[in-house]
Structure 1
Amino acid sequence: MAADGKRLSTAGKVATPKLGDQSILNDSHLYKIIGKRVKITTTIAAATSNNNGALEGVVYAADPVLNILAVNTAPAPPNPATNLASQPGNYHVISIPHIQDFKILASGGGSGGEDGAVAADTVGGFEAAVPSIGTLDLGALKRREEEAVKKLIQKEATRGRGVPKEAQEIFDAINKTLPARWHEQSIVINDAVILGPPYTLNDLKAGEGKEMTLAHIRKIMESHLAKKKASGGQPQRPGVATPIPPRKGG
């Protein structure tokens, strides 16, 4: 009974990894190991490899947010002049908390032997990664973000608040030709003409000297209303050609 109890007690224990000097795996230093050839022993031996949980390869990526490493374990090509980026890779994603032992052996193009081990604080970086990792133009990304926000603001400014659907349709039709904006529930067109509820032709108002602009807007509204009436109040759809049956007798 005592022996059985001892075996059960031992089986219920989870191995605690004995970590060595892993300061290089801190968030602020992870970038230094990208492009380095490393040897990693994990606590998940059976699931990781057939070599007692050891992996040897080149670090391709390191993510301090997800707390993982991506290692390319594909062997280096026999011809040193071969472009490594064109070679197929064998990538493994490793959880940093599962790393039991970590050694930097050499740079990405090295032989990988332990005789070529280098100090953990040797400067590495994205330039040495294989396949190569392109740099991000943060300025361009910021400009794209600002442009996207600007377009969203402009689009939102063309939406009326508390107005009927028909009023929004009239606004969109006019705004295709002339600049229009909402002022509360009124449409200001070309900063010269105002169209208020209930948004009929008789509700158009313009100052002295704006007769030509007023006439242009009336034509736009008349055309929009005529198209809507012709379609029965629904958006018009492209017509479908009716097939002509073949003539009999040639």
Structure 2
Amino acid sequence: MPPQDTKTALVTGASGGMGAAFAQRLADRGYDLVLVARNKERLDTLAAGITERTGRRAETLAADLTRDKDLASVEKRLRTDDAVHVLVNNAGGGLFGPIVTADPAAADELIKLNVTAFTRLATAAAAAFSARDDGVILNVSSGLAVGILPVSAVYSGTKAYVVSFSQALRQEFADTGVRVQTFMPGATRTKFWDGSGLELSALPDRAIMSLDDAVTAAFAGLDAGESVTVPSLPDSEWATLEETLRAVSPHFSGAELAARYIR
């Protein structure tokens, strides 16, 4: 993704952590920004700092993506603003704990953010970018989409959805000017974990990546044309997983029972 002079990137969950880091890097690459998050004060502070540091225009759009009216305003911006060529679909939350004690309302809010809002924004961007045959959709998943924990049922389920959705979207836009990347960071040193039910302090230091390194990996993977970027995973291991899935996927649908099921 080379530097741009006139294009805009829309980043959700931009008021801190990974979203703010993505915004800073995109500004460094010459993009103007639309920064989306709930906390307008923090967005405004970030936007002012980016503009002062880089000279790029940084607009703020305060929105709670679990509220339909707010979500619709961001969808509209993606569908109607021809300057927006990049969506960083980063907004998301975490919820960890045994499923038998989970708060159904909290789980519902997480699904609204991590699945419903994610899908609607990706769909809006896909429609707009497809019409121009140009654009980048960077969908943020998690290593916990596949490295599932006993306390991560809802969270891992939502992030596995992001992976499947993104893979289908990438196939849909194969051989076009629209690029789709799935970013799957592991544990990263941000405030994401605070109050999630799984504190970062419970994890060994060797399992936690710095925010700067994680975002560096995301852009390096994007520049290299990766479909999936996992910052700490050797290339050969993901390739092996994909090869295995390609080998077995034709057998997922068939008219005959596998021999082990015949009685």
Shorter-chain TM range is under 0.3
Larger RCO, structures 1/2 (Cα 8 Å, 6+ apart): 2
Name the one with the larger helix percent.
2
Name the one with the larger strand percent.
1
